[in-house]
């Protein structure tokens, strides 16, 4: 199969930014694997239109827990195998198949994410997140969203400074495990805000990035490929009930670009075609 392994997510971001400087701006869509059809269709389209495929799954959608997740019962290893099965069924296991670029990432990996973790103390909440990180490394994931923004129980105090420390602690943990497992370098995504709510200000976004990168640099860890931010979208059941903030969607990516990172927008589910058309 001609699956390219010479370009990382960080490399993809750099290439996209070079194109943007030349006036050719691009928005990529990260795809949740809610069914086999939602794995197959993006791959078929990528082969037809020659674009990279980005699969991202949360800790609920793909889980290392016994029995797997609520999506096809997939574990991280099972998710990779399912993708390979689909690719092989499309003839991508032959030497004559076209070059093809595909990434798989974990979304929202951090403490207090799953419902059963909501009342745990910090030490016990961090443990399952670390188990997920190890399982994703072993499976061969290439992208890791380290997300420590979920609300802990009232007995645990977490402000933004603490959130940054937890984030960098988990990046450091993942890097140590990656090296021990002899895995290829991976790309990281950072952020300190919850998925729902109003857009963050440019000033706050800029300061948050500076503070996280300062701690990352201090520990000698790789620079993140992405930073995530809110643009007003919010999912409830099968509807996007938020108010899209075009100003945030335009300005926050510029802040991220200044730090040589891509910007990931929360909650693109169920957005209307007119709103999608506002993206480059």
pLDDT at 2 exceeding the cut of 90: no
How confident is residue 237, by pLDDT bands cut at 50, 70 and 90? Answer: confident
More confident residue, 276 or 79: 79
Supply the mean pLDDT for the chain.
90
Per-residue CA distances from 65 to 7, 69, 132, 135 (Å): 31, 7, 9, 10
Distances (CA, A) of 26 to 21, 23, 177, 193: 11, 10, 33, 24
Residue-level pLDDT at 152: 92
* Stronger pLDDT, 77 or 92, i.e. the higher one: 77
Hey, how many other C-beta atoms are within 10 angstroms of the C-beta on 102?
18
pLDDT at 196: 56
Q: What is the pLDDT of residue 197?
A: 54
Domain 9-226, CATH homologous superfamily name and number: Aldolase class I (3.20.20.70)
User: What are the E-state strand segments in 130-254?
Assistant: 143-146, 187-190, 226-229, 235-236, 239-240
Residue 209: name the closest of 253, 175, 246 by CA. Answer: 253
pTM across the whole model: 0.93
pLDDT in tens, 114-155: 999 999 999 999 999 999 999 999 999 999 999 999 989 999
Contact 71, 57 (CB under 8 A): yes
3-state DSSP: the chain helix, strand, coil percent, rounded to 5? Answer: 40, 15, 45
pLDDT at 195: 58
d(CA 52, CA 89): 19
Structure tokens at 172: 């450091």
Burial class (CB in 10 A: 0-12, 13-18, 19+), 124: exposed
Half-sphere exposure for 243 (CA within 13 Å, toward CB)? 3
CA–CA distances in Å: residue 25 to residues 128, 206, 209, 254: 38, 21, 22, 12
DSSP tag of 145: E
- Neighbouring-strand partners of residue 40: none
Cα dihedral across residues 45, 50, 56, 62: positive or negative: positive
Q: How confident is the model at residue 270 (pLDDT cuts 50, 70, 90)?
A: confident
Per-residue pLDDT band for 82 (boundaries 50, 70, 90) equals: very high
Going from N- to C-terminal start, the domains of the chain cover 9-226
Residue 47 sits at φ, ψ, to 5 deg, of -70, -35
More confident residue, 86 or 235: 86
């Amino acid at each position: 199969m001609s699956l390219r392994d010479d370009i990382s997510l960080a490399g993809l971001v750099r290439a996209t930014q070079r194109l943007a400087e030349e006036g050719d701006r691009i928005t990529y869509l990260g795809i949740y694997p809610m069914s086999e059809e939602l794995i197959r269709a993006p791959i078929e389209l990528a082969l037809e239109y020659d674009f990279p495929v980005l699969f991202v799954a949360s800790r609920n959608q793909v889980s290392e827990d016994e029995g797997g997740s609520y999506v096809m019962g997939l574990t991280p290893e099972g998710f990779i195998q399912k993708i390979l099965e689909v690719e092989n069924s499309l003839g991508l296991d032959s030497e004559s198949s076209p070059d093809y670029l595909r990434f798989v990432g974990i979304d929202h990996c951090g403490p207090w994410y799953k419902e059963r973790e909501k009342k745990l103390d910090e030490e016990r909440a961090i443990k399952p997140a670390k188990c997920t990180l190890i399982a994703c490394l072993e499976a061969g994931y290439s992208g890791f969203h380290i997300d420590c923004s979920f609300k802990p129980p009232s007995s645990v105090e977490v402000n933004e400074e603490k959130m940054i420390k937890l984030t960098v602690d988990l990046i450091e943990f993942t890097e140590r495990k990656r090296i021990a497992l002899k895995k290829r370098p991976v790309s990281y995504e950072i952020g300190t805000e919850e998925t729902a709510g109003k857009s963050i200000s440019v000033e706050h976004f800029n300061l948050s990035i500076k503070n996280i990168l300062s701690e990352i640099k201090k520990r000698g860890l790789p620079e993140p490929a992405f930073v995530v931010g809110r643009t007003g979208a919010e999912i409830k059941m099968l509807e996007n009930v938020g108010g899209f903030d075009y100003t945030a969607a335009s300005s926050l990516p510029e802040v991220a670009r200044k730090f040589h990172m891509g910007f990931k927008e929360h909650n693109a589910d169920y957005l209307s075609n007119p709103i999608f058309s506002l993206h480059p």
